[in-house]
Amino acid sequence: MSQNETPLFTGLVEHAKKNPIQFHIPGHKKGTGIDPEFRNFIGDNALSIDLINIGPLDDLHQPKGMIKQAQDLAAQAFGADHTFFSVQGTSGAIMTMVMAVCGPGDKIIVPRNVHKSVMSAIVFSGAVPIFIHPEIDNTLGISHGITIDSVEKALEQHPDAKGLLVINPTYFGISADLKKIVDLAHTYDIPVLVDEAHGVHIHFHDGLPMSAMQAGADMAATSVHKLGGSMTQSSILNVKEGLVSPNRVQSILSMLTTTSTSYLLLASLDVARKQLVTRGYELIENTIQLANYMRDKINEIENLFCVGREILGTKATFDLDPTKLIISVKDLGITGSDAELWLRETYNIEVEMSDLYNILCIVTPGDTKKEADLLIAALSKLTEEVADLSESKSVPEVLLPDIPVLALSPRDAFYSETEVVPFDESAGRVIAEFVMIYPPGIPIFIPGEIITEENLSYIRTNIEAGLPVQGPEDAELHFLRVIKEHRAIR
Ligand SMILES: Cc1ncc(COP(=O)(O)O)c(C=O)c1O
């Protein structure tokens, strides 16, 4: 089959064209039973292929027909031996990767700044995390990837680990020397699992960091929906044979996946793959040029700094994806969250995310010079306004969360007897829940860690800045759930 074909999307359209009489779910039956306002908005075409795993349409849980053909084309496109489609986002694919290599008590080497799905999988599987501390960028207030030295040390100390997980590239588009990391792990026969949530496009342009499959990694969970043109929630899991079993991957992914898989999401993966293979290079090339133009213009604005290749060359910053614009607003004396809000309210511009010091904007083939110039003009105006409003705003000191000590395995902590204590009185206790800012979804605390006053203060600063702190049962964060301490009986 050729990469110009879309067996799954075409198969669904052909099926819908036959206009079958449907006595099966979904009960809206081609949209006729759905709320008319929604139907008019979303359109009959979309509803006509919102179908289910009846015989002719294959089954994601055991694909043999059009889904299998679409997955095989994707595997060829990404240089994998097997590709599995995920309708559980990259979170589902990441949980599958971890659970495919780890069982209770098994060690897995992971950077501490992983997405919460990695930690969830560690809780579910009962694996023991061996943390590698990511390199911290004290100027930008963000963490990068892991270094070869730290991987080497972790492998030497834990040659019995069942896997090494790497984030490549990071949310901010920075990548490590993945090829070297993979080669190193393979000398210990340890499989490398790549969180490639922010890197679907890198496989299709040689001016971008090396992709997981190009580097020889064993598995990669890749968000096609983020930067590859498929619909939100649709991702893929690429697998290379050797150190992992594709059959086990299929069964675990199936265990974690709804039985009512969305064919709209699946079809969007099929067409995204076609576009990436057939037009990806050209589209990405234009995107890189647009992003570089924006970076240069933003850097001409006083007190703004848009990160470029000058940050490369450290042990953790091997390469970068220029389509990510990390814009530091620290020197304006405002937070990233202030800038995000101002852009929303004044210019109707939505950024990808903000933190205490930066905003992150992503540039994709969906952008044109028109949007680029609007953002540049808005940022110029923001700078002028901030200067007018307050001469005295001072540049904040960069604050980054400590990495707390892990006192209990995340699973033991999660399933322990717990109690809630006031947030302000929780320092020194062992936490039993996650606390993170989403996005990016990197935990400040994971279950089992000892709460520190510094990290409580970091959380307070983020709440005050209006950033989305999430995770605890008490969404207001007045209380935290901690491991119950039993008083000694006298
Ligand atoms: C680094 C990283 N990994 C994994 C994920 C999870 O991806 P998804 O939202 O597709 O589940 C995200 C999402 O933001 C992420 O930033």
Give pLDDT tens digits for 287-309.
999 999 999 999 999 999 999 99
Q: Are residues 246 and 82 in contact, defined by beta-carbon separation less than 8 angstroms?
A: yes
Q: Are residues 223 and 212 in contact, defined by beta-carbon separation less than 8 angstroms?
A: no
Please give the distance, rounded to the nearest whole angstrom, from the Cα atom of residue 93 to the centre of ligand 1: 10
User: Ligand 1: which atom is nearest the Cα of residue 233?
Assistant: 10
**Mean local confidence (pLDDT), 424-431:** 96
β-sheet bridge partners, residue 420: 481
> Does the Cβ of 115 fall within 6 Å of ligand 1?
yes
84: pLDDT strictly greater than 90: yes
22: pLDDT strictly greater than 70: yes
β-sheet bridge partners, residue 328: 305, 358
SS3 467: coil
> If DSSP states are collapsed to H, E and C, what string results for 360-386?
EEECCCCCCHHHHHHHHHHHHHHHHHH
**Mean local confidence (pLDDT), 147-174:** 96
Q: Are residues 216 and 237 in contact, defined by beta-carbon separation less than 8 angstroms?
A: no
Please give the distance, rounded to the nearest whole angstrom, from the Cα atom of residue 101 to the centre of ligand 1: 20
> Does the Cβ of 97 fall within 6 Å of ligand 1?
no
> Does the Cβ of 235 fall within 6 Å of ligand 1?
yes
> Does the Cβ of 145 fall within 6 Å of ligand 1?
no
pLDDT at 398: 74
490: pLDDT strictly greater than 80: no
Q: What is the mean pLDDT of the chain?
A: 94
pLDDT band, residue 473 (cuts 50/70/90): very high
User: Ligand 1: which atom is nearest the Cα of residue 235?
Assistant: 10
> Does the Cβ of 91 fall within 6 Å of ligand 1?
yes
pLDDT one-digit tens code per residue, 49-83 = 999 999 999 999 999 999 999 999 999 999 999 99
β-sheet bridge partners, residue 332: none
CA nearest to 196, candidates 224, 220, 219, 161: 220
Which positions ≥6 away from 17 have C-beta within 8 Å? Answer: none
pLDDT at 106: 97
pLDDT at 396: 66
pLDDT one-digit tens code per residue, 182-225 = 999 999 999 999 999 999 999 999 999 999 999 999 999 999 99
388: pLDDT strictly greater than 90: no
Q: Are residues 222 and 168 in contact, defined by beta-carbon separation less than 8 angstroms?
A: no
> Does the Cβ of 440 fall within 6 Å of ligand 1?
yes
Q: Are residues 471 and 450 in contact, defined by beta-carbon separation less than 8 angstroms?
A: no
> Does the Cβ of 197 fall within 6 Å of ligand 1?
yes
pLDDT at 141: 85
Please give the distance, rounded to the nearest whole angstrom, from the Cα atom of residue 24 to the centre of ligand 1: 33
> Does the Cβ of 89 fall within 6 Å of ligand 1?
yes
Helix, strand, coil share of the chain (percent; to 5): 40, 15, 45
Please give the distance, rounded to the nearest whole angstrom, from the Cα atom of residue 387 to the centre of ligand 1: 36
Q: Are residues 439 and 383 in contact, defined by beta-carbon separation less than 8 angstroms?
A: no
pLDDT band, residue 16 (cuts 50/70/90): very high
Please give the distance, rounded to the nearest whole angstrom, from the Cα atom of residue 222 to the centre of ligand 1: 9
Specify the length of the chain in residues. Answer: 490
